[in-house]
Chain A
Amino acid sequence: MSLRRYTKGVDGTIPVQALLYEDEELLASQDGIGIYDGTDKSAPHQSGIAYATTHRLFYVDAMHPDARSFEMDLSHVARTEYYAGLFTSSPKVTLYLHPIETPPSPVDGPSGGLAASEDPAFLSWTCDVCNYRNPPGLSPAASRICALCGVPRSATSSSTDGETTSSAAYQLSSSLPSSSGNFSRVTTSSSSSPRPASPPPQGPNDEIACPICTFLNHPALTMCEMCGTPLPKRVAPPRASQQIHAKSAPASRPTSPLPDKDGPDSRMIRLSFRKGGDKTFYAVLRRSLLGKGWELKSTKAAASSHARNKSAPGQTSGLSGINGILRNVETTAATSQTDMEDALKDFEALTVKWRDMVKLAQDLNERLTAAPSTSTTASALPSFTTPSGAAPTSANAEVLTTQAVEPEEATFIRSSLAQLGLQMANAPVTLDMIRDERRWIEELARELAGVLQGGGGKEKREGIMRQRGIVGLDEVWGGWNRARGVALIPPSTFLQVIPQLPQHTDPPIHMRTFTASGLSVVHTPPYTKAAFTARLVGLLSLAGPQTTVQVAREEALPIGLTQEMVNEVEDEGEICRDEGGSGLNVTAGLSGSGWASSGGGEVRLWVNIFQGYVWDGQKP
């Protein structure tokens, strides 16, 4: 009952994927499905596979996939009910269906035109407005509007190309011949179409004659090879269709629909899950029903057009067609233009501010420089930054309290600036000041030399190096960028600048990298490998074996750095080591597994006693 009215036959030998509309998606499948038509079992559909898609529900019969399979639009489903099953009764899903306003009766399905309007999915049609030829294969809802301009398919189009629709009806009837046994609607529509009275002339070899140019086309073609006119699909001879009709008529006649008997009981279909899988399938089906995939496209289009046209509310209904598209494009372009202008304005403002900032920093520096120089001349103090000079300066500050800038504070600021490396005579060198890159690097090297060693001899400032002869590269980079404040130097540029450094520093500052750890340092000549080695060997031969800590104290260097340098000397073979370790203590020695971890003894550095050693023990 409901089955016949709500479902359409499909050829189940075709894979379901191939039957889908273009915008349809297969979601789930389940075998072992039996179908109830209303409350009663539908005898021919007791074992098959059910497929749920975004638009439809498919049933493919296991025994006779070609004759007994069908599909049903999910748009018919009003609500669902789930029954978990009890003892021998299988779990079931009941689909209650909307009543159909104009139920097509299988017997008096009058014309091919009606059949075509019912199922526009298999038609290609031309939009009235933009003349776009919409491809077949879309879902009914999607195919109702033009895919290009969104204009609904006008009612006139179906009448204007009646030729197409009627030919499509032929095509439909012959493309789904398997359904004729169960669902006579299609068959009858072809047999009782208005055309059979004047069938197109047919060639002796089943070739189809074009109704316009009379060219005999191959039967597989749907359009005339010569003039492109849609060809009437070759129909079966009237005798054959009569046979089918005669066969199917007795089967269908007793069950022909009675509209007034259309109670809610009969408007339902049940799926019985003989082999389980009901829960997942039901969940997918429900999601598909909630998603309303069959009307998704139109709503999505409406929503997006709505969103794009926030500036013109109330016009959304009229925003279809080319006007709507053009307006959308204009709005988008205008928005991006405004955004771009805003961003550029912000950027310009930032540039102006940056110059102000640099100027401010320069001013502050100059004023601070001016203040100490006056106070220096007044008190005849040699330096502000030397630590020993701090006490006299503060004493001096009491004398010079009348000065505009308090010298004590200025001293404090300047000395802390110097400590941080935030001390520069001029504004930082930036690339836009100097065009040539080599010159730029050179200028940077000069600037870095100033940062490292303080200014010239006259200005009594100390750089990052202070009294030290060796400084880690990371500290130099950080200090330099702190001193620059703006236009920071990336590490790559920094590494380019370092090789230029010896030309601008006195004593020349070089870089060296410790191979073991990869630590890089800049250093003055006394800290080259050769100089340090000589000094260390001298120390060891003079003062005897030393630990690394003792060497570090002697050199006034950090222990870690000393260790690196000592390791390099050891790699050279100039010194050797005595781990001492546990001495003769046997138990501690057992736990030690190698020279790196033996005991807790300190490593003592020795001059390499093995160098040039000649055996002086017992000779055989």
Chain B
Amino acid sequence: MTTSMSTHTTPSGYLLPSIHSMPPFFTQQPNPATQATVTENWTRLILSYARHRRLFYLRVEDAETKGSEWDEVLRNERINRRLMPSHMSFIMADMVSKNLAVYEPPRQTRTVLLHWRLPEEWAEVLHEWASSTAQLNTILTFYEIIEPPVPSPLSGIPATLLRRAVAILTKTNRAQVIAVADGEGVRFLPGNPAR
């Protein structure tokens, strides 16, 4: 067994931390202080990988079965270790408690929506995108934002997260939700973000 600590670059181009090659990283530690470090590193790894791959959801099933988009981090074939589902549930609960994820849909603990950007950050990104693409004061449907003709930083954002971001903008008078024929639309206004 190798005990050397070294970083590793995955086929998707993600640089795994050296700790990922240490077997104890995949074990839930009985010592709470040690486990806190483990959880912190796992959280960072998951969020960073999610941003890298633009993944929004993490499910317990991803740890249970092989073949999910998370395999690169949840398993380490080189040291024959994988993250146990119970350990993963523990980490997910910790992330939710730190607002780095939310259970989505609510009232279950099997799936989380990852906040690799906080809703407030998403709101800023959204407004930035709207103004940079000159779509202020025009009415956009949610679909047009999620699936824009030109790929944007918001492509594929879950509707719930988008709604939350829009709601934040509405509070600061930088967006307006309008009912349109085929559902809801939103109009972005040139607000002053400093205010």
Contact = CB atoms under 8 A, between A and B. Distances in A.
A593 B17 CA distance: 27
B15 A617 contact: yes
A613 B41 contact: yes
Given A576-B29, A617-B16, A589 B3 contact: no
Contacts of B15: 617-618
Interface string B14-27: 11111110111111
Interface stretch (A143-151, A226-234, A603-611): A603-611
Interface stretch (A383-391, A396-404, A578-586): A578-586
A578 B82 CA distance: 12
B45 interface: yes
B34 interface: yes
Interface residues of A, number: 34
A583 B3 contact: no
A595 B81 contact: no
A380 to B, nearest CB: 54
Interface in A571-602: 571, 573, 576-581, 583-584, 586, 589-590, 592-595, 598
Interface residues of B, number: 44
Given A617-B17, A617-B45, A589 B24 contact: no
A91 to B, nearest CB: 70
A570 B31 contact: yes
B63 to A, nearest CB: 9
A220 B190 CA distance: 109
Nearest to A618: B15
A611 B52 CA distance: 27
B119 interface: no
A611 B73 CA distance: 21
A598 B23 CA distance: 14
A592 B84 contact: yes
Contacts of A573: 31, 33-34
Contacts of A589: 64, 82, 84-85
B31 A583 contact: no
A539 to B, nearest CB: 14
Nearest to B64: A590
B65 interface: yes
Nearest to A572: B31
Nearest to B47: A620
A584 B24 contact: no
Given A573-B31, A583-B80, A620-B51, A545 B1 contact: yes
A615 interface: yes
Given A617-B17, A618-B14, A580 B84 contact: no
Contacts, number: 114
B66 A576 contact: no
Interface in A535-589: 544-545, 570-571, 573, 576-581, 583-584, 586, 589
A578 B24 contact: yes
Contact of B27 (A577, A586, A613): A577
A260 interface: no
Contacts of B178: none
A610 B37 contact: yes
B75 interface: yes
Nearest to A579: B27
A356 B65 CA distance: 79
A506 interface: no
Contacts of B33: 573
A616 interface: yes
B87 A595 contact: yes
Contacts of B5: 609
A610 B38 contact: yes
Most chain B CB inside 10 Å of its own CB: which residue of A544, A586, A589, A609? A609
Given A589-B85, A604-B23, A618-B14, A577 B30 contact: yes
Interface in B50-65: 51-52, 64-65
Contacts of A545: 1, 3, 23
A593 B30 CA distance: 15
A544 B17 CA distance: 21
Contacts of B182: none
Contacts of A608: 34
A595 B34 contact: no
Interface in B71-87: 75, 77, 80-82, 84-87
Interface in A458-488: none
B64 A595 contact: no
B3 A615 contact: no
Contacts of B111: none
A592 B48 CA distance: 28
Nearest to A571: B31
11 contacts: A576-B27, A577-B30, A580-B27, A584-B66, A594-B28, A595-B29, A609-B5, A609-B22, A610-B19, A616-B19, A617-B18
Nearest 9 CB-CB pairs, A to B? A617-B17, A595-B28, A578-B23, A610-B37, A618-B15, A583-B80, A578-B24, A579-B27, A576-B24
